[in-house]
Structure 1
Amino acid sequence: MRYLAHSAHAQLGSLWLSCVGWVLTAMALGLIQWRVWLVSDRGVISSGVAWVGVWRACFNSHALVTPGFRVMHCRSMSLAETFTPPEIVAAQVLMLLSLVLGLCGNAGGVYALRNIYFRTQEDSPVRLAFFTTGVLCLSAAVMSLVPLLWNLISVVTNQTIEFPPEFNMPPAPDSQHVGCGIGVGMVGTVLMMVSGIIFCTYRFPVRSQRPGGSSSPAPSVSHSRGAAVNDNPAFESHEDL
Structure 2
Amino acid sequence: MAYLAHTAHAQFGGLWLACIGWTLTAMALGLIQWRVWQVSNTEVITSGEAWIGIWRACFNSHTAVTDGLRTMHCSSISLTEENTPPEIAAAQLLMLPALLLGLCGYAWGIYTMRNAYFGVKKSSLVRVGFISTGALFLTAAGMSLIPLLWNLSSVVTNRTVVFPPEFKLPESPESQRVGCGIWVGMLGAVLMVSSGIIFCSYRLPVKSLASIQASLEQLEQDLRGVITPAGKDNPAFECDEHF
Q: Scaled by the length of structure 2, what TM-score is found? A: 0.90
Relative distance call for 1:93 and 1:211 in structure 2 (3 A) is closer
What is the match of residue 51 of structure 1?
51
Q: Is the 8 A contact 1:18 1:137 kept in 2?
A: yes
Q: Secondary structure at the match of 2:50?
A: strand
What is the match of residue 227 of structure 1?
231
C-alpha separation between the residues in 1 aligned to 2:164 and 2:136?
Answer: 39
Q: Secondary structure at the match of 1:37?
A: strand
What is the match of residue 205 of structure 1?
205
1:43 CA displacement: 1.4
Q: Which runs of 5+ in 1 are unaligned?
A: 236-241
What is the match of residue 193 of structure 1?
193
Aligned-residue sequence identity (percent) comes to 61
1:120 CA displacement: 2.7
1:174 alignment partner AA: E
What is the match of residue 241 of structure 2?
none
1:213 CA displacement: 3.3
1:207 CA displacement: 2.3
What is the match of residue 150 of structure 2?
150
Relative distance call for 1:209 and 1:2 in structure 2 (3 A) is farther
C-alpha separation between the residues in 1 aligned to 2:211 and 2:148?
Answer: 55
Are residue 132 (structure 1) and residue 136 (structure 2) matched? no
Q: Is the 8 A contact 1:15 1:106 kept in 2?
A: yes
Q: Secondary structure at the match of 1:227?
A: coil
2:228 alignment partner AA: H
1:44 alignment partner AA: V
Q: Which 4+ residue blocks in structure 1 deviate beyond 4 angstroms?
A: 208-212
- 1:22-33 superposed matches below 5 A: 22-33=22-33
Q: Secondary structure at the match of 2:231?
A: helix
C-alpha separation between the residues in 2 aligned to 1:212 and 1:147?
Answer: 52
C-alpha separation between the residues in 1 aligned to 2:197 and 2:84?
Answer: 35
How many residues of Structure 1 are paired with residues of Structure 2 in the alignment?
Answer: 231
Q: Is the 8 A contact 2:39 2:173 kept in 1?
A: yes
Q: Secondary structure at the match of 1:63?
A: coil
Q: Secondary structure at the match of 1:46?
A: coil
More helix by share: 2
Q: Secondary structure at the match of 1:101?
A: helix
1:117 CA displacement: 1.1
2:36 alignment partner AA: V
1:94 alignment partner AA: L
Q: Secondary structure at the match of 1:73?
A: strand
Deviations 1:69-125 (A, max 9, x none): 110000001211111000000000111111011001101110110001123331111
